Homo-oligomer: A and B are copies of this chain.
Amino acid sequence: MNQAYEDLLAHQKQTMALGRIGGLMSWDQEVMMPRKGADSRAEQSGALSAVMHDRRTDPRIGDWLDAIPTEGLTPTAAANIRLIRRSYDRTCLIPKALAEETAKVTTKAQITWAEARATNDVAAFAPTLRHVIDLTRQYADCLKANGSRYDALLDDYEPGATEAGIAGIFDRLRVGLVDLKTRISDSEHSPPKATGDFTEDAQMALARDLAGAFTYDWQAGRLDLSVHPFSSGTRGDARITTRVDPQNPFDCLYSTIHETGHALYEQGVAPDLDWQPAGQSVSMGVHESQSRFCENQIGRSAPFAEFLWPKFQEAFGNAGLGSADDLYRATNRVAPGFIRTEADEVHYNLHIMLRFDLERALIGDDLQVDDLEAAWNERFETDFGVAVPDPARGMLQDVHWSCGLFGYFPTYSLGNVYAGCLDKAMRGDLPDRDQMVSSGDLAPVVTWLREKVHRTGSLLAPGEVIAEATGAEPSEAALLDYLDAKFGAIYGL
């Protein structure tokens, strides 16, 4: 390649290295940082953000891009140039002061949110949330051109996705889910519930064991506790977190498997393209397809329950369950809970649709922060049939809005849709998958994901990655078929 391309990639590598530092800072803030470190950390985030903004808008990037011949590019070079051009054009539209203020405000907002959540104090969080929304609107206004603010935000997480396209998928998905949950609630079947004493040590030991079974590389990551489970980092340093509920071990175990799915993607994404934009994970939706696939299509399957049952008994005793089938059904109880991350597969996407509609209204100025709690609670009761008891189980439950992550939530449901597509395709390629999973041999499953999804990096667009992997355009139909079959059997529908 020519010198401009070499210079551009070298510059990009340093920018990516600084970006990884930002990832470490966020991880530390959630997992390790003492409370009084927040003010200083906010200054640090602001300073790094300013540096990143300067680098991303460095006019030399434009010069280098212009100096690279457009003909005869390798697919990798073409993807790198496409991704850098896109980032450069977008970032140049954002004033540096706005980027810096947003970094500072959202760093502090996460602390304010955590405290408000702990004390159920919506009023304590409201001014901060207003500030974050105001900054997010300003940001979207810089980018939206002729599209909607929300389209502009979506593009950061799912390049190419649109509000209208997602609304279409969600509308069709909603019909199927509401029908299924109604049939389930009318069913006389009631899966068993695990009860007993689930110590933190036993939960964490089993969580580590399961992450390892999914081939998580412990030399390239670590597992810690945080309020909200998340994954962070990439390649040689892809960390995960979980949380422990002494009443319910499945929260810890399935959060761990979920985050392991994310980390497997990072640990396996295009290993030969390190430090290149084409070698990065392609979108939040595809990322979520990896975590949800591991968590649900594998982790909450009947064969996995067979694998898990002896380990579960060793860790916790029988916990009121009598067999692997009991465990399978216990991990697939369908009930209208308040917490998104603990939701069953039938209700999960309804949680997302609630947030999708509310955050579109917030960003579009059709809903004010003062009215958010009432709007949340009303919509929740309509969709789930139960009243929200307190804000920690309502509008304060998720960290996202305090981080300024508007447009992020729908990628969770896109991930579920993609996971449904991948599951269908993998069953064709690995007809013996159930036997592999029940014996705890998950390597072939992960290898399939590596080859079909991880290795592609960002060489293709998100929808193209799924279409290439599955041989068909992504559609919600596979997910609905999977859910109907699975829960139809469990609930005798």
- A residues lining the B interface (CB < 8 Å): 13-15, 17-18, 20-21, 24-25, 28, 32-41, 43-44, 46-48, 50-51, 217-222, 233-237, 239, 275
Contacts of A46 in B (CB 8 A): 14, 17
CA distance A301 to B369 in the complex (A): 59
Are B36 and A236 in touch, CB under 8 angstroms? yes
A21-B21, A24-B24, A40-B234 known; 6 other A-B pairs, CB under 8 Å?
Answer: A13-B43, A17-B47, A32-B32, A34-B239, A36-B220, A40-B235
CA distance A28 to B26 in the complex (A): 12
Contacts of A275 in B (CB 8 A): 43
Q: What is the predominant secondary structure among interface residues of chain A facing chain B?
A: helix
Contacts of A20 in B (CB 8 A): 40, 44
The 3 closest A-B CB pairs, nearest first, are A37-B237, A36-B236, A17-B47
Q: Which residue of B lies closest to A38 (CB)?
A: B236
Q: Which residue of B lies closest to A48 (CB)?
A: B21
Q: Which residue of B lies closest to A14 (CB)?
A: B47
Q: Which residue of B lies closest to A217 (CB)?
A: B36
Q: Are A34 and B219 also in contact (CB < 8 A) when A21-B25, A43-B275, A44-B18 are?
A: yes
Q: Which residue of B lies closest to A222 (CB)?
A: B34
Q: Are A220 and B37 also in contact (CB < 8 A) when A28-B24, A32-B32 are?
A: yes
Q: Which residue of B lies closest to A39 (CB)?
A: B236
CB proximity of A354 to chain B, nearest CB, Å = 36
CA distance A363 to B47 in the complex (A): 36
CB proximity of A20 to chain B, nearest CB, Å = 6
Contacts of A234 in B (CB 8 A): 40
